[in-house]
Amino acid sequence: MTTFADLGLSDKLLKALANTKLSTPTPIQEQAIPHIMRGADLMGLAQTGTGKTAAFGLPLLHRLLELHHPAGPRNVRALILAPTRELVSQISDNLTVFTKGTPTKVTTIVGGASINRQAERLARGTDVLVATPGRLIDLLERGDVRLDQCGYLVLDEADHMLDMGFIHSLRKIAKFIPLKRQTMLFSATMPKDIEELASTYLRNPVKVQVSPPGKPADKVTQAVHFTPQGDKAKVLEGYLKEHPGERSIVFGRTKHGSEKLMKLLVTWGFKAGSIHGNKSQNQRERTLQEFRDGTVEVLVATDVAARGIDIPGVKHVYNYDMPNVPENYVHRIGRTARAGTEGRAIAFCAPAEMGEFRDVEKLLKKAIPVIGGAPWAADAVAAAPKPGQNRGGRPQGKPRSAAGGKPSAAGKPAGKPRAARPQGKPGGSAAPRRSAR
């Protein structure tokens, strides 16, 4: 069995690892670390939860420890870019554990926090800068940080960065970094855009791949519940009541819709919180900490959290809205069944979401078991509002019936037709707005 010592890591890093739960390298770590340590550019394909941070972080820190002088004022030796604040914090937390007992300095830069305080920290220079692209550009344009001495660049969750529209930001940042550098790109999927990105930033990269794209965690039990959009809140309430006190994440499509759903769950007596792009960094960190310590048991989130939450003990993931991008389904359900545990993921599918649902099954290359309702017929799908129109989400706990006057999923008889609600309510189909930072 391969050990971290077998990979040639420094004694200081091995000592830090001895104080963690990491005993043997994961497949992505075993494959990537030797190539990075010898200075090769690398493209790694792996899902979240496979140990990617240590796969690039440990060999990067090993190489930095070979330098025996501090970084100069406002200088950065290694830059790690990630698309969301949660991912940046997660990466930084892991690296801080690895650097314990070493002189290596790790600095975190994200939007939603005081830029002046960040500038003050950067004034002394740093070995490793972990940042979101938008805030880094702000600091570069102010002259608060320099990248001309940066010899290492890591693009983590590159496919998610492209989904969030960061390609122009990446191009702008790259102009500040020397061409003579080592670059590592990690992605969960390999669309054409990622291939183009790799060809632009990497030189003769080594390619390593584990957990084929689209493969969810092996121990996640998946199911789908077909339900009208207006009934989703009551259906969710039923599932949550079946498992009181168990940690759950509910994924919504929009920021406003997720916030409204969270407030509704609170009125129903659930210990709920929310994180999305409209929350400040302090609010997001506080809610995540409350989720960790059990003060919050139900976390309602947009896809900003699909790859940024690594919290043990999440038993259930509910896809309240089907994701626009099928790969995000895999990342969402990957928030449960972590570290060898088991978990459950249930998707709620309204008529207008049948296309997204079929895309997910196509990606998984298998059918998702039905736990409630039945797949929507073609006439119901045709009659549903199309993407960009209101889907009639109404999370007031007063479910509407399915077409034809049949009882709703909550067993209530059909009521009078209701006027369509504005976009942005829970379950609404408005396309997610991208966060600039």
Q: What is the mean pLDDT of residues 406-411?
A: 37
Half-sphere exposure of 282 (CA within 13 A, CB side): 2
Backbone angles phi, psi at 84, to 5 degrees: -130, 160
Closest CA to 76 of 11, 130, 24, 14: 130
Cα distance between residue 339 and residue 407, in whole Å? 41
Task: Quickly state the pLDDT bin for 310 (edges 50, 70, 90).
Answer: confident
Query: In which residue are the tokens 């590159």 written?
Result: 158
Please answer whether residues 195 and 172 qualify as being in contact, where contact means their C-beta atoms are separated by less than 8 angstroms. no
Alpha helices in 202-280 (DSSP H): 232-242, 255-267
Q: What is the mean pLDDT of residues 195-221?
A: 81
Q: What is the mean pLDDT of residues 416-431?
A: 39
Closest CA to 312 of 285, 341, 287: 341
Q: Is the pLDDT of residue 241 over 70?
A: yes
Cα distance between residue 52 and residue 75, in whole Å? 26
Tokens of 18: 């001895």
Please answer whether residues 348 and 399 qualify as being in contact, where contact means their C-beta atoms are separated by less than 8 angstroms. no
Query: In which residue are the tokens 């043997």 written?
Result: 24
Name every residue whose Cβ is closer than 8 Å to that of residue 195 and which is 6 or more positions away in sequence: none
Which tens digit of pLDDT belongs to each residue from 114-140? 999 999 999 999 999 999 999 999 999
Task: Quickly state the pLDDT bin for 419 (edges 50, 70, 90).
Answer: very low
Q: Is the pLDDT of residue 174 over 80?
A: yes
- 207 versus 396: the higher-pLDDT residue is 207
Cα distance between residue 257 and residue 436, in whole Å? 19
404 in helix, strand or coil? Answer: coil
Q: What is the mean pLDDT of residues 384-394?
A: 53
Question: Residue 425 has what pLDDT?
Answer: 38
Name every residue whose Cβ is closer than 8 Å to that of residue 185 and which is 6 or more positions away in sequence: 42, 43, 44, 154, 155, 158, 194, 197, 198, 201, 202, 205
Half-sphere exposure of 110 (CA within 13 A, CB side): 22
Give 377's DSSP letter.
P
Task: Quickly state the pLDDT bin for 393 (edges 50, 70, 90).
Answer: very low
Q: Is the pLDDT of residue 80 over 90?
A: yes
Cα distance between residue 225 and residue 372, in whole Å? 4
CA dihedral 345, 159, 57, 148 (to 10 degrees): -150
Q: What is the mean pLDDT of residues 7-16?
A: 93
Find the helix packing angle between 354-364 and 326-333, rounded to 10°: 70
Of 17-21, 133-137, 407-411, the poorest mean pLDDT is in 407-411
Task: Tell me the β-bridge partners of 370.
Answer: 224
Question: Residue 299 has what pLDDT?
Answer: 96
Task: Tell me the β-bridge partners of 185.
Answer: 43, 155
Task: Quickly state the pLDDT bin for 278 (edges 50, 70, 90).
Answer: confident
Type of residue numbered 182: Q
Domains of the chain: 5-209 (3.40.50.300), 220-383 (3.40.50.300)
Of 21-25, 49-53, 124-128, 404-408, the poorest mean pLDDT is in 404-408
Please answer whether residues 215 and 222 qualify as being in contact, where contact means their C-beta atoms are separated by less than 8 angstroms. no
H or E element, residue 372: strand 370-372
Of 63-72, 113-122, 245-254, 346-355, the poorest mean pLDDT is in 63-72
Closest CA to 57 of 47, 74, 42: 42
Cα distance between residue 103 and residue 388, in whole Å? 52
Q: What is the mean pLDDT of residues 54-64?
A: 95
Task: Quickly state the pLDDT bin for 402 (edges 50, 70, 90).
Answer: very low
Please answer whether residues 241 and 407 qualify as being in contact, where contact means their C-beta atoms are separated by less than 8 angstroms. no
**CA distances (Å), 348 to each of 198, 230, 261, 374, in order?**
36, 11, 14, 11
Q: What is the mean pLDDT of residues 334-358?
A: 89
**CA distances (Å), 352 to each of 193, 230, 371, in order?**
28, 12, 19
